[in-house]
Structure formats: C-alpha cells, structure tokens
A and B are shown apart, each in its own frame.
Chain A
C-alpha cells in the first residue's frame, strides 16, 4: 500500500525536491504552500504522514501542529517538522508540541527517505 504524504512547504523548489524524492520512493505526495489552509487540508486528505515546514506564510508550522494535536481525529497522526533555522530551541518546541520527527534543512535525501519510511511503516 502506498503511503500518502501531505507536504506543507512554501519554498517551491524545496517542495519540488521532496515531492520528487518521495514519489520515486513510492509515496503519493500532495503539496501545499500556505499555512492557513493546512489544517483543513489535513482533515480532508487524511494522509499517513504530514511534513510541515516551521516557517510558513499565514500560520506557522508550530501553530498548525498544535491545532492538529488538539483535534482527536489527528491527535496521533505522524508529523515530521522541517526547519531551516536549525536552533536547538526550535527543535525542543517542536518536540514539546508533539512532533514525531524533526529534520533540519539542508538534509540528505537518504535521511529524508529513511525518516519517511520509518514514520509510515505502521
């Protein structure tokens, strides 16, 4: 069964790169660039995994995560956070908010694939 991934990322080139890598690895990837529409999109799509950028226009990644965790339907949904800031503080905040995995940009494609596989395994 193919894993369905929802990618929320505002930089079009990064979004394209991740979409390509994961599609080749057998995932079904939907992309979204805007923070406001994110929560509604998750509810509608019901993906197996959400990849969430921390700095988004509109609503920040952290706020989106908080909203997802507050909703029983998405409480346990696997979420991977992406950030370009790379500060320890951001990682801690993301983990406290309930992120399942945290990845710093730039990343190696292998790490990305491995993380997605382990998060969508179950």
Chain B
C-alpha cells in the first residue's frame, strides 16, 4: 500500500478521534454527561490494559512460548472477578480523598508525605518509559511493514522520522485534551470517550483478522483445531512457577500501572460501574485473546520462517492480499498504541507536576504568602511534563534500537510497577503501615528490580559489565544480577519478581513495625482502612480558628479560579448559617477545602499550602505526644464527641446570632427614627431660620439673594431625602412598578457614568471597562438598574482613597445570569463593617459628609431584590468591591 495513503488514513483516523473527544468535551461542558458516564464507557476505557503489546505482541508471544501468553489476560481476570472488593475500596478511597494519581494515593495514605509521592513518581516514570517506547516501536514497525516501497522508487521515510511524528502528534493530542482545564477532580471526558472508541476498533480489528484466519484461510473451527493440534503451540508446556509468577505480575499490574489507576480510579464517575466492569472487562479480555492462537498457528504455517511473529496480525492479511482487512488491523494496533500513550502520559504528567514540580516551586518561591496564578503554573507544568514523558519514551526508543521482543519490555514494566503493591494493599488494609516502611519497601524493591531485571535488559556490557553477570560485582558471587543469593536456577524474570517483591515486602513490614506512624498518618490510615465505615467521621486534621477565612479565600481563588472559589465559599458559609463569602474556619470546612484543593494540586501540596496559612509548617511535638498516648479507639470516640459538641456549638451560635440580630434590629429601628428626625430637622432648621431673617427685612439685596438660595438648596435636600425614604418604603413593601424592557448593558453603564460624574467632578478617576463583554441585552427595569450603578460609581468616587483612583467594571455572563463587578483600588471596607453597609443610614464614618443621608446602598439592595438579583460585597479583592447580579431575562411577577 502506498505510504501516502497510509499516512492519510492515519490522519483521518486521528481527526475522527479528535472530533469524538471534542464532542464529548462539549457535552460534558454543557453538563449533559448522560452516556458519557455509563458503565460501558468505563469498561471500554479499562481496555487500555491491552496495548500494542497485547494487540501485536500476544500473537508473537504465543508463536514463541505457546500458551503462556494467556497469563497476561488471566491475571487481570482473576483480579476483576475475585478481588474486585479491593478495587472497590480503591475507587471509594479515590473518590473520597479526591486522589489524582497512584502517587497521590500512596502519599496521601502515609500522612501526605511528599517523599513517597516522589518515589512513586520516579518508579512510575522509569518503568513506563520503555513501555511508551514499545508503543512507538510497534507503530513504526507496523508502518514499515505496511508501507512497502512503491514501483516509482519512492521509499517511506526512515523509522526514526515516523517515530518522532507519532510522538509529537500524541503529545499534541494529549496536551489538547488532557490539560484543557484544571478540574476539581482530574477527569477527562473527551479522552475517555476517544479511548472507548479505540477499544472498540482494536477489538473489532483483532476479531476480524481471527475470523478471516479461521473461516477463510482454514476451513472453519474443526480444521483450525486440527491445525493447532499439529503445531508446537498446543504442547501444554506448563511451568507452574513461571505461570504463577506471570499471573501475579499481570494481576498486580492491572492495579498498579499508572494508566490503569487513572482510568479505573481517577476517571471513575460512579462506583457501581465497577460492578459492571467486574464481568464485562474479563469478557473483553476473553474476546481479545480468543483468536490469538489461530493467528499464531496460521502465521507460523504460512509465512516464511524469518517473518517477525509480532507482526503476524498485519502480515497475514497482507500476504493474502486483503488490503482492507490489513488496514483495519493496522488501525487496531494504532489504536492500542495511541490510547496507552495518551493515558499513560496524562497519568505520569499529573504525578510529575503534583509531586515534583509543585513542591519544588512551593519551596523555592520567595515569599511565604501564596502569590501568582498557581492554576496557570500547574497547567503549564502538566503540559511540559507530558512533553518530557513522551520525549523520554522517544529517547529510549532511539537508544534501545527498537530490537527487543515486545513481550519482554512489557513484562519488565509489569514487575516494576508491582513494587507499589505492598505499600498500596497493606496501606488500605493495615493501619500499622507507616511512611518509613512504605518508603523502604518501594526503594528496596525498585533497586532490586533495576539491578536484576531492568538494567540487564539492555544486554551485557550496556549498563552492567558482562563480568558482573558472570562473577558478581567485585567478584562477590551471591550478588550476581541473575543469581541473587546464589539462586541461579530460576528464570530471570521470575528471579527478579521473586526477589524484588520479597525484599520489598520484608523491608516494608520491618520498617512499619519498627517505626511509629505520625498523627496525620494515623488519621489518614484510619480514613483509608475504614473507608466503608460510614459512622466514623472524616479525619480531623485542622483546629478551629487557625487560619483567616479571607486568606483561605485568596489562596483558593488562585488555585480553583475566582468563580469556583467564591461559589464554594458561599455554599460553605450558607451551610454554617452565615451570609456572605467567609465561612468560619471550622475543622470540617478546612478538611473539605483541603480535599477540594487536593483535587487540583495533589494532597501533599494542598496540605502544605493549608498548613502555611494555618500557621503551622509541620506537625508539632504536642500533636505527636497526644496521639501516642491515646489508643485509636479513644481517638475516634473523642472525634465523635467533638463532632456532636461542634453541632451543639453551632446551634448555640445560630441562636445567639439570631438573638443579636433581633436586638440589633430593635436598636436599628430606634436609631432609624432618630436618624430620620435628625436628617429632616437639619434642613428645616436652616429654612426656618433664614426665612425668619428674610421676613424681618432690612437686608442688602445680595444677602437676600444669598439667603434665598440657601433656603432653596435646603428645600431641595429635604425633597431628595423624602424621595429616598419614599422610594425605600415602596421598594421594601414590594409595591414598586417595574418598567421591564430590553436594554443594552453597555449603554446603561454609560448612562450611570455620565450622571455619576457630574455629581462630584473634583477628582480625575480612571474607569476600566470591558466593552465587548458589556455588549449584551438584559431584560430588566433599566432606570432602576442604572440607579444602582450610579450609587456604586458615586460611592467609589467619594470614598476610594487611592492616590490614582481607579474603578474596574467587569461583566460576566453565566447561565441565565449576568454579574457586574465594581472594584476600586482604594483600601476597601473594613471587615467588621462589611455586614453593615447595606443597612439604612450606615454611613461608615461621620468624617466624610459626602452629601447623602446613607440610604444609597440600602436602596440598591432593595432595588436588586425587586429586579430578582442581588448586590453583595466581595471581600478579598484589594479595594472596595461590589457584585451586582441580575437575571438576563426578568419576567414579570405573577401578581
């Protein structure tokens, strides 16, 4: 097949995947998740377990080693059917703790230790790099098999060129859909949907080739079975030790591979999907393995003896002249490779960015306070990490020369990631497991794996000198990489698996038994081990009142984005029975906020950020002593008591606040009457005094004019005050007549600015507007809304105390609501006064006699209530900041 057509088909397929991912993202954005979150999609996404290695390599494996390839499918099957309660526990923990990766899970379990996060990340990257290289290799190999040189002398570009194009294209796809946003939980609907489609393509392709082999090349199943019996593959050459080892490695890998953890735990939308997957995924694996043996047998029979068995799936249809079928097989292999690389690089990039880049940045940045846009930094570091991960894969591919048999590399990776297993499984079942144990176990396991399996895989003299293989390092015989402690008779893979897992587990248990878990570790341990125990509360890591809510809000805005953070804080405050955006920093709230932040930046980083604001950098000695002296039961009992007591305290506080509010209302009413009296009598005094002076006569004409004007001014002031009072009373009673109509927001702001500017023209004032966003039509009472704008703009002009006063008006439209923020650069309104400003006559300082009677914001509040909107003060924005929210289309109330 001409090379160009092949490239075009690949491009077309990739564009199709782009469209699928894009459409899924669009659906998810509009909140219509529907089938995007079905158990079927979940199960299909799990199929990234079947990489190019299983697609092409299984046939090669069968051709070389007979039925042993089945272990690769049986391992996961056993886990999904027999151990799905482990998976369910992992998924439940993942959802409850908002785990973002396997590194995050282990770090989070052992007291949010970033050391563990780093260890897991390093092991995962080292083990996955050859695996990614393997995918690149299989794609380039299939390219070169397929694209034979054409007659006109054109030959396809070198395999290096193909590999780099494939790596670059995958990086682009992954960055586009994998780092689109920094979601609270790292879920990628677009990518998961695209992977599900690829899962179908690879299954259909393999089955199509299988059917062709059995029913077209052979004469149906009976003939096929006869051919299989005749071949070597059927020799049931069972080596129990090796089988058991391979089953174990494959079973461990399906839990521990970063990409499997990503789709199984992180992308999981509903725990019940796992129940479906527990039978559907083994079924998928069964279907994938069904035709492996026939294809292998037929390949050995028909193809020349020097043909690469890893490519039989492709070369058999090609040899039979079945171009279309070969094309389908090619796309199946392409799908297997791309889906694996995409998810693996997302998973690794999340780990690298959350456990290496972010902590380093947190430590290096100059000031203690959280500054700068962390969101952008996280996304950038993810994008760069994806590039680096794929770059490493490509580099490994170039260096290794792409010659090793596919299966060997896959199994090496399996054993590598299996090193996470003891820390993970003990971590979720045994509360005595400690951070030191986990770190020791994984480090020892990793080193043994690298020494006995990974480094030797480069061949003698590549990394480890041949002499070391034969006589051991420095002539120490029992340290030979292939015969550790003198065990020389074992198969190298099994040897490595046995020693790495044994030493890993021993180191882990020894470390755990010899050390004592810290307080955070104990709490996390309890939360993980008892994740199904609904009566025990979430771990209490935070004490009351250590952090300022406003600081927390400022930090959260930088990580979660302004809108999300404000919404979250508002909901939390409402849950505590408070209005506004600043909830009390109760332990519950702090824990929820930490989990929420952990969804974006990982548990350890979130914990570190919160700790800094709560004023404790690490866990104190007192914490440690307190926990050490109490048994776990006492701790949980007191936690329950504490939660009950907290409930009582909250009720008492709500009552107290209600009582205070009533008292205040009564005082306010008196004060209001007294204020009205004062505000009315003041202009009256001038009017009366001057009119008496005028009637007494005997005045020069210019004084008559002057005093006449004072009378006029004061009469106007009186009228204005009465108008305001009347307005307020009408608005408060809800008897106001609204003139609804469509008006352009930009023009309304223009009107407000024009009329606010001639009230106090004394200062130059910079107004910063966002004209394109303002260009929307709102159905509302324009005059009333403009009245509110005028009030806010005049207030900024009067009270903004910056040297170069500035007012920023920003508009945002979301759903059926429009929010207009007015933020100036002055010193803002002190926290203790923020709750008062919307009350009548609440002019904050009497120093500034700015003309009004202090009814402006009270009127604004009532106007907005009548317009179906709100006006709120936004704390933590630098200057005074007001947010006006109106419905885009206000409908007339049914009277």
Contact = CB atoms under 8 A, between A and B. Distances in A.
B684 A21 contact: no
B677 A84 contact: yes
A109 B692 contact: yes
A51 to B, nearest CB: 13
A55 B847 CA distance: 12
A29 B664 CA distance: 41
Contact of B847 (A11, A20, A57, A86): A57
Given A10-B849, A13-B710, A106 B677 contact: no
A106 B849 contact: no
A106 B688 contact: yes
A94 to B, nearest CB: 15
Contacts of A37: none
Given A11-B682, A13-B714, A14-B685, A58 B847 contact: yes
Interface of B: 674, 677-678, 681-682, 684-690, 692-693, 696, 710, 713-714, 846-847, 849
B678 A21 contact: no
A111 to B, nearest CB: 10
22 contacts: A11-B686, A13-B714, A14-B689, A17-B685, A17-B686, A21-B693, A55-B846, A57-B846, A84-B678, A85-B678, A85-B681, A86-B681, A105-B681, A106-B681, A106-B687, A106-B689, A107-B689, A109-B689, A109-B692, A109-B693, A109-B696, A112-B689
A85 B685 CA distance: 12
A17 B681 contact: no
A118 interface: no
B698 to A, nearest CB: 9
A108 to B, nearest CB: 7
A16 B686 CA distance: 9
A16 B710 contact: yes
B683 to A, nearest CB: 8
For the residues of A in contact with B, the DSSP-based class is: loop
A84 B674 CA distance: 9
A20 B706 CA distance: 13
B495 to A, nearest CB: 89
A13 B708 CA distance: 12
- Interface size class for chain A? 20 to 34
Contacts of A20: 693
Contacts of B678: 55, 84-85
Contacts of B714: 13
Interface of A: 10-11, 13-14, 16-18, 20-21, 55, 57-58, 84-87, 104-109, 112
A1 B714 CA distance: 35
B877 to A, nearest CB: 29
Contacts of B688: 106-108
Contacts of B674: 85, 87
A108 B690 CA distance: 10
Contact of B685 (A55, A57, A58, A107): A107
Contacts of B692: 108-109
A18 B693 CA distance: 10
Interface centre among B678, B687, B710, B714 (most CB of A within 10 A): B678
A74 B685 CA distance: 29
A17 B693 contact: yes
Nearest to B675: A85
B731 to A, nearest CB: 26
A17 B846 contact: no
A86 B680 CA distance: 11
A35 to B, nearest CB: 10
Contacts of A21: 689, 693
Contact of A105 (B682, B690, B710, B847): B682
A105 to B, nearest CB: 4
B744 to A, nearest CB: 42
A120 B642 CA distance: 71
Contacts of B713: 13
B685 to A, nearest CB: 4
B689 A18 contact: yes
Nearest to A87: B674
Given A11-B685, A86-B677, A109-B689, 11 more contacts: A21-B689, A21-B693, A55-B846, A84-B678, A84-B681, A84-B682, A84-B685, A87-B677, A106-B684, A106-B685, A108-B688
Nearest to A89: B674
Across the A-B interface, give the 6 residue pairs with the lowest CB-CB distance, nearest first: A17-B689, A84-B681, A105-B685, A13-B686, A106-B685, A106-B688
